[in-house]
Structures are given as structure tokens and as C-alpha cells.
Amino acid sequence: MRFIEKLLDITKKNNSLLCVGLDTDTEKIPEFLLKENDPIFSFNKSIIDATSDLVCAYKPNLAFYEAQGLKGWESLKKTCEYIPKHIPIILDAKRGDIGNTSRMYAKAIFDDLKGDAVTVSPYLGEDSISPFLAYEDKCAFILCLTSNKGAEDFQLQKIDNRPLYELVAEKILQWNEKGNCGLVVGATYPEQLKKIREIVGKLPILIPGIGAQKGDVEKTIKYGTDDQGNLAAINSSRGIIYASSEKDFADAARAKAKELRDTINSFRKK
Amino acid sequence: MRFIEKLLDITKKNNSLLCVGLDTDTEKIPEFLLKENDPIFSFNKSIIDATSDLVCAYKPNLAFYEAQGLKGWESLKKTCEYIPKHIPIILDAKRGDIGNTSRMYAKAIFDDLKGDAVTVSPYLGEDSISPFLAYEDKCAFILCLTSNKGAEDFQLQKIDNRPLYELVAEKILQWNEKGNCGLVVGATYPEQLKKIREIVGKLPILIPGIGAQKGDVEKTIKYGTDDQGNLAAINSSRGIIYASSEKDFADAARAKAKELRDTINSFRKK
């Protein structure tokens, strides 16, 4: 099944545009879990069990696993295996290199970890992205406009009277020959998100930045979804998974996930 | 010891600007090694033993290890531990994300793998790079102008009458407050390399692209080194490590490394 169909199916089934980010950090998970054999996986397992009927995707953030070395990579792999097959796994990796190297990253993400999608950086241009796009049923979410202050350094700079991120959005639309490109656009720039949605039409957009980073939910949903109120994955990580640091962490995460899913739905086009 | 001193020391000791890229691929290493318990590490160990008096750095390319999953991450870790302590390890990872995520990538690269330097992507701007620069004795080689065709898509586009890569070079110079920034510039663009060296003065430049990618060696050395003929790490990967696929692969790699080191030296400023 193609990624975009898988995303639309789960969006409908769970009535949700909520993507839960698994930025799992041993310094932030409940202390009692640290006694377990694999605390990171135990934590993720509980979060997944508590939220799998509320989400449209899970987004493990590779940095947090790599920071734990070998053990972390193992926790990541177990997490990917554990996520129910009908829920898309977006591996947040921000990869991108020359062709023969990107091919290896694609192999790691899609063949070894069995992700459904990956985030990639556009700086090296088309031939750095195409090895990911060779996997027709997968999706590459290409960074367009990020939620951080540093986006001003280059992404907002103007090329031929339009900002670099608009040129990136136009290129992504051209690269979408197999229908497996997506974009990453931060919720902290709602007006720009609107413009980007106009440029890319029905491509899926992964939108981080509404939780800890304070993006505006209403505008994000209004401007970020397509004309049917779909094809956006609104990510929240810390605000959900660390809702409580006590024994009730999974229930607390479920409550936060439900609340945010419903808030998002209240602003969706019908 | 600061990275730049470590690089200058080994450049002098080994009379070398040659960086050997460890893009180790189970499909390309000699077949007889596949019987070993850890073929990737066995291959790297032999290459390192055969070339450690000829190089200024080793550059493991993370994609190739990640593509092998858990086993690959283990081979990478063993390789980093095996490289003699006086030789800089440049971990080619092209990472870069918002601040709290980049901090985790920096932890993986510098604390877990014990790299001396890392390659990072500039697309997310200053706050995506600063967590790497917080490690004062390490170095972040930031992508400036890459050797592939896709560099035309964005890097060569003009912002205020100068190409994006020049703006990136200027920003890198500003970010170099602790003296631990470097740049990645492909050998396939010698004239642009010259301009970039003028902009950044004494920052170290990692230069891939002279082997399989056909960059011009003479111009690369002339334009890429600083005014003393130093502070450039000229990378070759495939051309050296896969010089032979037989039992003599390490000797063949040594011969190719020596030849390239000497060719590079023949063009260096005295």
C-alpha cells in the first residue's frame, strides 16, 4: 500500500491528524522504568499501547536513540517492530547526502528499520533525495520551513524575490513524480504554511512545533490541511509523552493525546 | 587538545592532507572477509593498519554502518575505538535538527562514538549547529558547497547577488567564535573553492570529490589549502579502500593512499 493511502486510512479510522513524536530520553522518562532491561522500549511500548487508537502516525526521533549508542539503536528497532502495522512510522532522521550515500541511508530507514517514511534535508538537492524516492510505497518528508529561529538564516532568505523555502516547496512538487514526497513545515509560521499548502496542493505535510514550541493550533489546522481537512500530520512529542513522570505516565499521555486530537479535529474542515 | 591543533599536528607528522573515507560496504569488501565475525570491522582494521602513517584523518561515513543495522553500529563503534588516538576521526553524518535534537546527535557523535569532528547540514541555521559547537575541542564541518549535481538546486541560487553557499560560508565564519567550525566544499567546484577559502581564511575545509567524482587535484590543493598549505582534509574513499578486492586489498589501499598523498603534496604551498 502506498504511504499516502496508509495515512488517509488511519486518519479516517482513528479520526486523527495527530502524530506522536517518540523523542524518548532516559533523563525524562519515569525513574521507575530505569530498572527495566530496556527502559526506552518499555516506555515507548506503554505510550503506544495507550495512544494507538488516537494517532495518525508515530515519529521516532533518531537522535534520541543514537545518543544511547548501540542500546538505543536496539530500542529503536524494537519500537518500530512493535508499532501496529496499520499505523505509519515516520522516522525523523533529517538525512541527506550524495546519491550513493543517501542510498545507504534509505536502506537503513526502509529495509532495516522498516519505516514508512523519513524526514530528509533538501540542501544537497534532487540527487540526494531521489534514492529515498526510489522506494515507491514509502514517503520522504523533505524539510521546507522549520519551526526554529535559525530558519531565518537561510530558509527565509530571498531568491528571485521569493524565499528559499518557497523554491524548496516548488522543487518538491517537481520531484513528486511517483507521488511519494511530503514536506516538513513548522507550525510557528502559519502564514507561510498557508502559502506552502497552496503551492503543493495534495502533498502530505508533517507539521511539528505546536506543543513546546508554541505554534498556533487553529491556524495550523486551517492552513496546513488539504481541501478535505486531511494530509497533515500534526506532531507533538514532549507535550504528550512527558505529561506525567509518575506511574500514570501512559494514562496521562493518553489524556493529552485525546485532548489534542479533539482540539485539532475541532478546527478541521468537514 | 583542540581539533585544529590535532589536525595540524598529524598533517605535519604524516606529511599529509589525505583523509581516507571509510565508506565500508559489505557488497564491495573482499569476499573472503565475509566469513569473519565482523567483516566490516576486519576490513577497516586492515585499512587503518595499512594507512595510518599516510593520513591526516579517517572519515567513517555513517550511512554505510546504519545500513547494516545494529551490527553496523557496533562495527562503527569498534572502528572509532581502533583508530589511533593521534589521528582525527571525522564522522560523516550530515546531521542537523532543532536545538534539543541536535544536542542528542552531538551526544551520539562526540560522547558515544568519540568522534573528533562531525559533518552537519546548515539548512536549519545557527541554533541547529550550536549544540555541536558547544564541544569546544571538537569540530563541526558544515556543508557549504557539495560535489554533486544537486548542488545547483539551492546552493548555487543567488541571494542578494551572491550564491547561497557564499552566504553559508559567511555565516560559518560568524559562528566560529570558539574556533571549532569547519566547512565541506566539493572538489568539483575549484573556482568556488577559491572564493570560499578567501572568505573563511584559516578555517579547516573538508574536501571530498577528487576520486570517483573526478575533481581536479591540482586546483583543489592550490585553492583549498590555507596560506601555509594546510587546514584542508582531502577525502578519498572508494578510490583507496576498494583498490583491490583480493587478499592484497590492504597493500593496494596503502599504495593508492601513498600515491595520492604524494600527488597532493606535490601541489602544496611550501
Average of per-residue pLDDT across A61-86: 98
Q: Is A270 exposed, middle or buried (0-12, 13-18, 19+ CB in 10 A)?
A: exposed
Query: B168 and chain A: CB distance < 8 Å anywhere?
Result: yes
Contacts of B117 (CB under 8 A, 6+ apart): B3, B57, B88, B89, B90, B91, B138, B139, B140, B141, B182
Average of per-residue pLDDT across A129-155: 97
**A86-96 pLDDT per residue, tens:** 999 999 999 99
For residues A253 and A250, what is the distance between their CA atoms, to the nearest angstrom?
5
Interface of A with B in 208-247 (CB under 8 A): 213
pLDDT band at A214 (very low <50, low <70, confident <90, very high): low
**A193-210 pLDDT per residue, tens:** 999 999 999 999 999 988
Closest Cβ–Cβ partner in A61, A68, A154 for B125: A154
Average of per-residue pLDDT across A82-108: 98
pLDDT band at B212 (very low <50, low <70, confident <90, very high): low
Query: B67 and chain A: CB distance < 8 Å anywhere?
Result: yes
Helix (H) or strand (E) holding A77: helix A69-82
Contact A73 B69 (CB under 8 A): yes
Looking at residue B214, its pLDDT comes to 66
Closest Cβ–Cβ partner in B67, B94, B122 for A97: B94
Looking at residue B216, its pLDDT comes to 86
Contact B98 A147 (CB under 8 A): yes
Contact B125 A152 (CB under 8 A): yes
Q: Could you tell me the CATH number of the domain that includes residue A53?
A: 3.20.20.70
B67: cell is: 545500513
Looking at residue A216, its pLDDT comes to 86
Average of per-residue pLDDT across B153-175: 97
Looking at residue B199, its pLDDT comes to 98
Residue whose grid cell is 502524530 = A19
Average of per-residue pLDDT across A35-64: 98
Average of per-residue pLDDT across A31-38: 97
Dihedral through CA A200, CA A85, CA A102, CA B73, nearest 10? 150
- Are the C-beta atoms of residues A216 and A190 closer than 8 Å to each other? yes
- Average pLDDT of chain A is 96
Longest CA span, chain B: 57
Looking at residue A212, its pLDDT comes to 63
- Average pLDDT of chain B is 97
pLDDT band at A269 (very low <50, low <70, confident <90, very high): confident
* DSSP letter for each residue of A140-189: EEEEEE-SSGGGGTTTTSEETTEEHHHHHHHHHHHHGGGS-EEEEE-TT-
Looking at residue A270, its pLDDT comes to 76
Looking at residue B270, its pLDDT comes to 76
- Are the C-beta atoms of residues B98 and A235 closer than 8 Å to each other? no
Domains: count for chain B: 1
B269 pLDDT more than 90: no
Task: Return the percentage of chain A with pLDDT > 70, whole number.
Answer: 99
Active-site residue, from B94, B171, B222, B258: B94
Pairing status of strand A162-163 against strand A158-159? antiparallel
Contact B157 A159 (CB under 8 A): yes
- The parent domain of residue A83 ranges over 3-267
Q: Could you tell me how far CA B17 lies from the centroid of its own chain? A: 11
A213 pLDDT more than 70: no
Contact A153 B64 (CB under 8 A): no
Contact A104 B25 (CB under 8 A): yes
Pairing status of strand A181-185 against strand A162-163? unpaired
Q: Could you tell me which of A234, A163, A225, A219 has the C-alpha nearest to residue A198?
A: A225
φ, ψ for residue B16 (rounded to 5)?
A: -150, 140
Closest Cβ–Cβ partner in A96, A147, A157 for B167: A157
Average of per-residue pLDDT across A23-46: 97
Contact A148 B125 (CB under 8 A): yes
B222 pLDDT more than 90: yes
Residue spans of beta strands (DSSP E) within B89-211: 90-95, 117-120, 139-145, 158-159, 162-163, 181-185, 205-207
**A234-266 pLDDT per residue, tens:** 999 999 999 999 999 999 999 999 999 999 999
pLDDT band at A168 (very low <50, low <70, confident <90, very high): very high
Average of per-residue pLDDT across B164-182: 98
- From residue A181, give the alpha-carbon distance in Å to each of A3, A7, A11: 10, 13, 18
Interface probe with B: pick from A62, A91, A101, A152, most Cβ of B within 10 Å: A101
Query: A155 and chain B: CB distance < 8 Å anywhere?
Result: yes
- Are the C-beta atoms of residues A41 and A78 closer than 8 Å to each other? yes
- The residues of A annotated with a catalytic role in the active site are 94
A110: closest CA of chain B, how far (Å): 9
Query: A67 and chain B: CB distance < 8 Å anywhere?
Result: yes
B100: closest CA of chain A, how far (Å): 10
